[in-house]
Structure 1
Amino acid sequence: MIFSKTIQRDVIFYGIGLHTSAKCSLKVSPADAGTGYLFRVRDEEAKVDHITLEGSNLGTNMVCGSSVVRTVEHLLSALVGLGITDVIITTNDVETPILDGSAADFFKELKFAGVRTIGDHKPLRLDKQLTISMGGKMVAIYPRNDNDVVVSFRIDFDNEVVRTMPQELTYSHSEDNYFEQIAFARTFGFKKDLQALLSNNLCLGGSLENAVLIDDNRVINVDGLRFESEIVSHKVLDIIGDLSPVFRDYIGFTLVADQAGHSINNKFLKQFYAE
């Protein structure tokens, strides 16, 4: 039996936005079964789905009426990791707090608030397959003969430091595995790209406190990586958040990704629900 789940009390998150550097806050609240992930922004509300999620090169944004909340993928990933199906997310700000650059704080605080069952959840068993490619990147989904959900991700960055790290990760989705393998993996970037990003008013809130920064020959963060597979694990974290409606609505599938990022993930999401 699979259950719908929400949290037991409100949880408020404060921090800066990765791209805007604005001071941001949001509140995650309990919800009834069937609510889904519902954003309320000022006087408007919208449910997270293939229509309201919009992917860019550097994040996934939530469109709520005339408002857009940027970089929602880490929060959505943590909700999926905890098996939470229904919450209300309230904010008046333009971006989700980046916190430490991973999903760990979202995961831990929501879990500490308490996760409770609110009814039966009836996800569909996947009965189709889909593959899309874009610029050398690929995302595909295949049905399984069981109810498991598995993500297989491969990276290939033009950086000698990253090439010394694990290039592939196969992740079997569960709350325990998410916490142990995925939640603490931080967002990352390359020093050579930093000036161009800043010039385009991107990553204005980025720092070594909320991201892994990689040069041509080293990880610049004093403490290095949290674990050997942190880079590929963060890519898994992102795709779970980017495709959170699929993880909420379906079971029994293997998701395969090769060098995928937010843009192709969002293209895949829209095509998946269009077919």
Structure 2
Amino acid sequence: MQTTLKHPVQCQGTGLHGGRPATLHLLPAEANTGIHLQRLDRAGTPPFRLTPDCIISSPLATVASSPLTADLTVATVEHLMAALHACGIDNLLIQSDGPELPILDGCSRTFMSLLDDAGTVSLSVPRRSVSILRPVHVTGRDGARASLLPGTSDALELSLSIDFPAPAIGKQTCAIRLSRQTFETELASCRTFVNHQDIAALQAQGLALGGSLENALVIQHDRILNPGGLRYDNECARHKMLDTVGDLYCAGYRLSGRFEGHRTGHALNNQLLRALFSSPENWQFSDGSVSVLPRPA
């Protein structure tokens, strides 16, 4: 059955890129409403439903843009979306008091604790998932690629690889069959990462202004600058998979199938979702209903 939160919950933190204080409210929602976003600082602007078409291109974060209100965006939603997928939340109203969600610990661990504090409740409507019917492939720059393929079960299976010039990262791989348990134990605590040499340039562009060793893994050539070092040998690949779980849940539904990616990122993950939903021959709802996504309004 579909779920939502049992109780409203909120948290405060700092936006990773803007560096400004950010407050997040998560509220229960009715069945079949999906995930909605609302900016509280923009008086009178209605919530909008999150769909793949709402995501605008951004290399460093997943940014949702309202189709109802010009220039209204909510950035850095991927870590929360990954936690919502893992915790099985189908319907939710996400309210933000600014243009960016708080980065918190740079991963999904705190978001999962927040959702556990709120609790979940089952609704009286069956859950629909999206089944992949035929392979869908997209490619990006420098050999980046991503695919969605039919699976052998109702689960989402993911595998990806990354390749970075910094020796502390290098070539890494990660593979997982997604469940609440595997996400919590293998992905949720894996932090976003950045090359130390890129920080000055990012901040000159008004990005990464809220980053710190408390919420990001900082790599300097062959060294990890964070006290305590890595949480996993392949923490960077695991974080890329965490991001991918969140990006794919921007479909508004769980996916049943296989994801394969190499050097993929937020923009390419969204391109993959758009390619998937571009034809009803690519997918179907698990209950056999008409293969048409809800409008974002």
TM bin (shorter chain): over 0.9
Of 46, 49, 61, the residue aligned with 1:47 is 49
Of 181, 187, 194, the residue aligned with 2:192 is 187
Partner of 2:217: 212
Distance across 1 between alignment mates of 2:190 and 2:73: 25
Q: Cα distance, 1:44 vs. partner?
A: 2.1
Of 133, 138, 155, the residue aligned with 1:132 is 138
Distance across 2 between alignment mates of 1:104 and 1:254: 24
Partner of 1:241: 246
Partner of 1:109: 114
CA contact (8 A) 1:7 1:87 kept: yes
Q: Does residue 188 of structure 2 align to residue 178 of structure 1?
A: no
Corresponding residue pairs, total: 270
Distance across 2 between alignment mates of 1:146 and 1:217: 40
Distance across 1 between alignment mates of 2:108 and 2:75: 15
Relative to the length of structure 2, the TM-score reads 0.87
Secondary structure (helix, strand or coil) at the match of 2:23 reads strand
Q: Cα distance, 1:249 vs. partner?
A: 4.3
Counterpart residue identity of residue 144, structure 1? G
Q: Cα distance, 1:112 vs. partner?
A: 2.1
Distance across 1 between alignment mates of 2:247 and 2:104: 18
Counterpart residue identity of residue 53, structure 1? I
Partner of 1:155: 162
Distance across 1 between alignment mates of 2:253 and 2:184: 18
Q: Does residue 262 of structure 2 align to residue 262 of structure 1?
A: no
Instruction: Classify 1:74/1:220 alpha carbon distance in 2 versus 1 (closer, same or farther; 3 Å).
Output: same
Q: Cα distance, 1:23 vs. partner?
A: 0.6
Relative to the length of structure 1, the TM-score reads 0.94
Partner of 1:31: 29
Of 75, 78, 97, the residue aligned with 1:92 is 97
Q: Cα distance, 1:167 vs. partner?
A: 1.0
Partner of 2:128: 122
Unaligned runs of 5+ in 2: 280-297
Secondary structure (helix, strand or coil) at the match of 2:53 reads coil
Distance across 2 between alignment mates of 1:138 and 1:12: 36
Q: How many percent identity over aligned positions?
A: 30
Counterpart residue identity of residue 81, structure 2? L
Q: Cα distance, 1:247 vs. partner?
A: 7.2
CA-based RMSD of the aligned residues comes to: 1.4
CA contact (8 A) 2:4 2:121 kept: yes
Q: Cα distance, 1:26 vs. partner?
A: 1.4
Instruction: Classify 1:269/1:33 alpha carbon distance in 2 versus 1 (closer, same or farther; 3 Å).
Output: same
Q: Cα distance, 1:84 vs. partner?
A: 0.8
Distance across 1 between alignment mates of 2:14 and 2:113: 19
